[in-house]
Structure 1
């Protein structure tokens, strides 16, 4: 065989489109890293405290691409428990400024810091004693000098091939808005339950469904006493088709859980199932859920403990109230 035949094949060249794609992501990531490296702690904390203390809705103001980012911030703030609305800078001078009340906090987005539509209404905002927070690309600009609190969102270059399309700058502004919204939400002690109450529709809303309305209960529950034989146990499990049975005492307190897998493991260990009872086969401390929990609580718990298909539902005293099966949850 010739030496030529043994030579490794040269690697296939990376397609240009793939490189272009990666270059944009890398450039935007670099813009975020550069911002973080120079982030002042005191100034950000002061802005978060200001926003968290507001009782009136926060006004998010921008124009063009910055207006879209302002709309995203308003939506995220509201979603995380801080009322906010977006104001189009162009429409503000034609009547929409009436939505701004005395003392409102206004968050301004502008990459150039000289957006004409915002500069035009700046005196009117100041006349209403509005607190102005600027997320602005140029620190030496008219808007940067006019605001009460400035977050300098400067980028060295945009990520597009001609260096002109809002890319790195909009990504940075969007990230700053998200960071503000989350920090303010945490300062206001906004919880997961609060978030779900703000999202009654769709998958998020369904997570607020009470466990009580989903669980199997009463005669639909596969239950046995600790002294039940394996034959009785199998009959109960087969009759209720949950692949498991709860072991309870005479006060209906949950003692343990037996699954199909528990019985199979005893068979594989060559144990004599005819001489043992439910108490010897059961899991003594199964994972349970409270009767006042929601579907979201259950899904969160199952995500942390994969492989569980059945959950007993108990009251604060440990008495069995019902059972949940994964199939019941999937239907929701």
Structure 2
């Protein structure tokens, strides 16, 4: 009998109820925290924002996993942070804690033996300690310099013992600290992308100047260029569009395939029709120093679904063009 057969008698709705029960209990833990009073948070955030040394997160077990995640989140948002396993600290890893550092300690019980063992050693180095602790009267809650009380009514699992609500609450508190500290430090979207040089996030930092088509690859015409010559330029350059410029390269407008089709559908007049008559006089444009991330933001929203994008400098001179296919990595 396989596992699916063994549990086939259980109704699907019951299993779904269990699933949502856990999420509801974890949500309730967050709600209780939000409804509570938390004095000193502004001072804790300011303390963290002022740090020049890496912030140390320490914990053990499931709390240790949350610590590792929070250290990574702080670092990605511009505040250097590292994770110290409390059990390994007494075997040499305590050397990672620089004097005068800020150490954030996570513990639901507030009496974790490994943490209580290293806490005096951390304090002896002149470190400031912040506790995210689940029990107000616990030894750890009394020992830390700053306390964020993360108390829950019960864990979310059916036996009320597995770290679920507690770790969810600790994670949310840590994420909130990371974001608040990042904002206080003036961390920007550009800074974030610089911290993620690989993958899609890294590609978003590529400047438009490195992606755009330029020189002989550009479909460029003058306002007086007649319709047949305009079509020839657009066909040769294979961008489905042409930029209309004046004698010194100032962008005057943009003609796309759809503009020509709409003209011909309205009446098959070709003679005497030129680019200046067909062009869009206020097309979307972008600067060379903008990034791929900026371009992708521009494409959000149904009204901005362009296929080509002229690139212009401060004087409105054409520098290049982007095609939607140029954005694919």
Query: Do both proteins adopt the same fold according to a TM-score greater than 0.5, normalized to the shorter chain?
Result: yes
Q: Does 1:44 align with 2:41?
A: yes
Give the drift of 1:291.
0.8
Quick one: distance in 2 between partners of 1:30 and 1:271?
67
Give the drift of 1:306.
4.0
Residue aligned with 1:289, SS: coil
Q: Which residue matches 2:242?
A: 245
Q: Which residue matches 1:215?
A: 212
Quick one: distance in 2 between partners of 1:294 and 1:206?
9
Residues 79-121 of structure 1: CA deviation (Å, up to 9, x unaligned): 1111110000001111111111111000010011111101111
Q: Which residue matches 2:122?
A: 125
Q: Kindly indicate whether the alpha-carbon contact (under 8 Å) linking 1:313 and 1:324 is maintained by their aligned counterparts in 2.
A: yes
Residues 32-86 of structure 1: CA deviation (Å, up to 9, x unaligned): 122112253x522111100000000000111000001110111011111111100
Residue aligned with 2:299, SS: helix
Give the drift of 1:274.
3.4
Residues 189-233 of structure 1: CA deviation (Å, up to 9, x unaligned): 111111111111111112222222211111100111112222222
Equivalences, count:
318
Q: Kindly indicate whether the alpha-carbon contact (under 8 Å) linking 1:65 and 1:166 is maintained by their aligned counterparts in 2.
A: yes
Q: Kindly indicate whether the alpha-carbon contact (under 8 Å) linking 1:266 and 1:273 is maintained by their aligned counterparts in 2.
A: no
Q: Which residue matches 2:221?
A: 224
Residues 233-276 of structure 1: CA deviation (Å, up to 9, x unaligned): 21111111111111111110111111112222233434734333
Quick one: distance in 1 between partners of 2:270 and 2:142?
82
Q: Kindly indicate whether the alpha-carbon contact (under 8 Å) linking 1:63 and 1:88 is maintained by their aligned counterparts in 2.
A: yes
Q: Does 1:60 align with 2:50?
A: no
Q: Kindly indicate whether the alpha-carbon contact (under 8 Å) linking 1:92 and 1:121 is maintained by their aligned counterparts in 2.
A: yes
Quick one: distance in 1 between partners of 2:210 and 2:229?
29
Counterparts of 1:1-332 in structure 2, within 5 Å, are 15-40=13-38, 42-270=39-267, 272-304=269-301, 306-330=304-328, 332=329
Give the direction of change, closer, same or farther, for the CA distance of 1:236–1:39 in structure 2 (3 Å limit). farther
Quick one: distance in 1 between partners of 2:209 and 2:88?
49
Quick one: distance in 2 between partners of 1:324 and 1:174?
41
- Structure 1, unmatched stretches of 5+, are 1-12
Residue aligned with 2:109, SS: coil
Quick one: distance in 1 between partners of 2:233 and 2:297?
29
- Structure 2, unmatched stretches of 5+, are 1-10
Q: Kindly indicate whether the alpha-carbon contact (under 8 Å) linking 1:196 and 1:205 is maintained by their aligned counterparts in 2.
A: yes
Decide which moves more: 165-174 or 306-315: 306-315
Give the drift of 1:31.
1.4
Scaled by the length of structure 1, the TM-score of the pair is 0.92
Scaled by the length of structure 2, the TM-score of the pair is 0.93
Quick one: distance in 2 between partners of 1:287 and 1:306?
8
Residues 146-195 of structure 1: CA deviation (Å, up to 9, x unaligned): 11111111111111111111111111111111111111111111111111
Decide which moves more: 21-30 or 52-61: 21-30
Q: Kindly indicate whether the alpha-carbon contact (under 8 Å) linking 1:225 and 1:249 is maintained by their aligned counterparts in 2.
A: yes
Cα-Cα RMSD: 1.5
